[in-house]
Amino acid sequence: MRMDKDTFREILDSILRNRSRSLLTGFGVFWGVFMLMLLIGGGQGLKQLLQNNFEGFAQNTCIVFAGNTSKPFKGFKKGRRWSLTYDDVDRLRNIVPELETITPSVSLWGRSVTRDEYTYGKAVVKGIRADYRNIEAPKLMYGRFLNDADDLQERKVCVIGKGVYASLFPEGGDPCGKPLRIDGSYYTVVGVDWKEGGGIQINGNASDQVIIPIRQACRAYNLGNVIHMLCFTAKEGVTMSDITPRVREVISRAHYIDPTDEQAMFLLNTQLMFGLVDNLFRGVNFLVWLIGLGTLLAGAIGVSNIMMVSVRERTTEIGIRRAIGATPRMILGQIISESIVLTLAAGLLGIVVSVGILAMVELAMTQDGILKAAFQVPFGAAVAAALLLTVLGVLAGLAPSLRAMGIKPVDAMRDE
């Protein structure tokens, strides 16, 4: 539908003559678009904030903990305490080929770490292997992570967390190569893991951790063959939920535990957690669009009603235009164009204002120059909203324009 300068001037003149109604109608469309964009951008930001808690953590991971048995089994009474062992790693690798990374871990809480006159008394000493980074990826600020040689040679090296680094090295700088005393034994710092504390915490806050090779940890703390936790990931294309029953059976059989005793062995399937989050925000997005579309539809109905009133008040004008040669198509084009301009102007203003408010929210969420989450309206969502506003503008102006086309010059003069 082509719009020349004269037609556009007439549309603006009509909107200005009925500015009180136009403002009221435009506010309805503005509010609908504003709320829709605000909810979409806010939902995106909240989703990113939640995903930040899982940053660096493998989505197809399962974590096994030992508990107390709640059922008797093969002569053993319920309430028995048992422990995972290093042998369980080889058992799972040999019997469950669908597993990719299988790595053990030990954790010791409330340990004292000292450097010169500085002491950190709430550290979590965590013994792991190099392949643990496939479960929980480190975010290194300095140095490196543990490697296979560190574990095989039982080297006295460590990777410290952000909180430990801040307490023991208040002067800042690269701490790699400097010694720390952990419970009476000296270790050399080889890296600093800068992950924030929070989110998924496996046996302690990442900020409080001092990571050492697991063989060295077992020797230093006389753990023998005992491990505290077993983590594993599934190979690509394998659903973790399909293989966890076999994992439970393999470990239960080796430790004389009833495979149906869920309290004796805790399996944390992170794949289910990530799926739950995805489903949650899928439902939130559906509700956001449902509410937004409902508000937009209400605004479009308001536009249609205002245009009907405008056509009724302009009966004489339309009749005169018909009398001097205006075709029904010209009348149709002007009314629909007026509806589109009114709807688009209010809607685009709603998009601009909502984007501005979301930008201020982003500034409030920025800490130490780092943006915690992007509260932004996706470009595709803004384009979709603009196209939808155009369609709603056409539909809103359709009924008034059909009524205007039905006005006859003689009837218009009689109405005057």
Domain boundaries, the chain: 5-54+275-415, 61-270
Contact 347, 389 (CB under 8 A): yes
Q: Please give the full DSSP string across 42-67, using - where no structure is assigned.
A: HHHHHHHHHHHTTTTB-TTEEEEEE-
What burial class does residue 305 get, using C-beta atoms within 10 Å of its C-beta: 0-12 exposed, 13-18 middle, 19+ buried? middle
Helix (H) or strand (E) holding 367: strand 366-367
Written as six digits, the tokens of 287 are 């509700």
Residues 6+ apart with CB under 8 A from 376: 41, 44, 45, 355, 358, 362
127/111 Cα distance (integer angstroms): 13
Predicted TM-score (pTM) of this structure: 0.67
Contact 335, 397 (CB under 8 A): yes
168/182 Cα distance (integer angstroms): 12
Give pLDDT, residue 323. Answer: 67
Q: Which of 80, 83, 81, 82 is nearest to 105 (CA)?
A: 83
Give pLDDT, residue 159. Answer: 96
Per-residue pLDDT 10s for the chain (416 aa) are 444 555 555 555 555 555 555 566 667 778 778 888 888 888 777 777 776 666 666 678 889 999 899 999 888 888 999 999 999 999 999 999 999 999 999 999 889 999 988 999 889 999 999 999 988 888 899 999 999 999 999 999 999 999 999 999 999 899 999 999 998 899 999 999 988 755 566 667 888 999 999 999 999 999 989 999 999 998 888 888 888 899 999 999 999 999 889 889 988 887 777 777 777 778 877 887 787 777 777 777 776 776 666 666 666 666 666 666 667 677 667 777 777 777 778 888 888 888 888 888 877 777 655 556 677 778 887 788 778 777 777 776 666 666 666 656 555 555 54
